[in-house]
Amino acid sequence: VTGFTGAGLDRADHLRQDPAALAAALGHPAARLLVLDGADPPAADRLAWGAMSLPAGSFPVLLGLQGGAPRFVAAGLLVAPGPPDWPRILSLPPAEMAIYAAARALVLWHARHRFCANCGQPTAPFRAGWGRCCPACAAEHFPRVDPVAIMLVEHTGPLGPRILLARQPRFPAGRYSVLAGFVEPGESVEEAVAREVMEEAGVAVTAVRYHSSQPWPFPANLMIACTAQAADDRLTLDRTELEDAFWADAAAVRAALAGAADAPFRAPPPHAIARDLLEWWVARQ
Ligand SMILES: [Zn+2]
């Protein structure tokens, strides 16, 4: 299963704008509040759910219904998180990882969007925490989702099919991954893929196809995975973005995915859609 998907919650949008139904959900005997340590899970291995006692100064965000039982997270307390506690987060079962990720994204969005971007006045949560509205100018603000295109670029030549892998200076030693970049205003996903590959690697691509997607709410990304074909394998790297790049054949990718000691690179980690793309590709070779 793709990382951070499969929460299995009914998001129950119909409750968000129905004050009576929302009050009933808040008072439901099975309603529970997600326990957080700052913005992190309080412990490894599983999420914790507590009674509906909201901390002073917080408000409930309706995460959804789990088997009919309302699930909330408290937001509105000023949170200044450090980096995510990855060991705790990645120890959660996949469905709980997805629930946590949505909760974290909402809590941090509220913390960072307390004032109206239109008029500067304080805003107030509405829609059960899935938005904020401005009492002064009536502007409505919604949680951010920033689309990122992430692309498996394939070249087929005399050396057989190979894919483009690159590393950024901030990556762990030996780690290589596929290219990725933000989709910009006025651009389709396909256009963003072609632009990004040209900017970073100097390679023209065609046949851009959607593959799959993954929420990556750290803080607010949606990863949109695509495949694309390169006509030419000559690379011209943008050294401000990339430290190195190369074309990897199936044997190299298989060795890296297996964690082989003599693999030519270290593969992306299991919860990343980049790894899903590599696994999908080698399975077809
Ligand atoms: Zn306003």
Distance of CA 113 from the midpoint of ligand 1 (Å): 12
Cα–ligand 1 centroid distance for 99 (angstroms): 31
What pLDDT does residue 261 have? 94
For residue 195, the SS3 value is helix
The reported pLDDT for the residue numbered 111 is 93
Alpha helices in the chain (DSSP H): 13-16, 19-26, 86-90, 94-112, 189-201, 250-257, 273-284
Asked whether 189 and 226 are in contact (CB, 8 A), the reply is yes
Distance from residue 141's CA to the centre of ligand 1 (Å): 9
CA of 143 to the centre of ligand 1 (A): 16
Ligand 1 centroid from CA 126, angstroms: 14
CA of 137 to the centre of ligand 1 (A): 4
242 Cα to the center of ligand 1, angstroms: 40
Q: How far is the CA of 132 from the centre of ligand 1 (A)?
A: 10
List, in order, residues 6 or more apart from 9 with CB less than 8 Å away: 63, 64, 65, 66, 71, 99, 102
Q: Tell how far the Cα of 136 is from the centroid of ligand 1, in angstroms.
A: 5
Distance from the CA of 121 to the center of ligand 1, in angstroms? 6
Distance 142 CA to ligand 1 centre (A): 13
Q: How far apart are CA 140 and CA 117, in angstroms?
A: 10
Report yes or no: 6 and 94 within 8 Å, Cβ to Cβ.
yes
User: How far does residue 108's CA lie from ligand 1's centre (Å)?
Assistant: 20
- pLDDT at position 80 is 79
Low-confidence residues of the chain: pLDDT under 70: none
Give 118 Cα–ligand 1 centroid separation in angstroms: 5
Contact (CB, 8 A) for 70 and 62: yes
Reported pTM: 0.93
Cα(220) to centroid of ligand 1, in Å?
A: 22
State residue 1's pLDDT score: 82
In whole angstroms, give the CA distance from residue 17 to residue 110.
18
Strands 160-167, 146-157: pairing is antiparallel
Pairing of strands 146-157, 221-230: parallel
Q: Which residues of 208-233 are buried (b: 16+ CB within 10 A; e: fewer)?
A: beebebbbbbeeebbbbbbbbebeeb
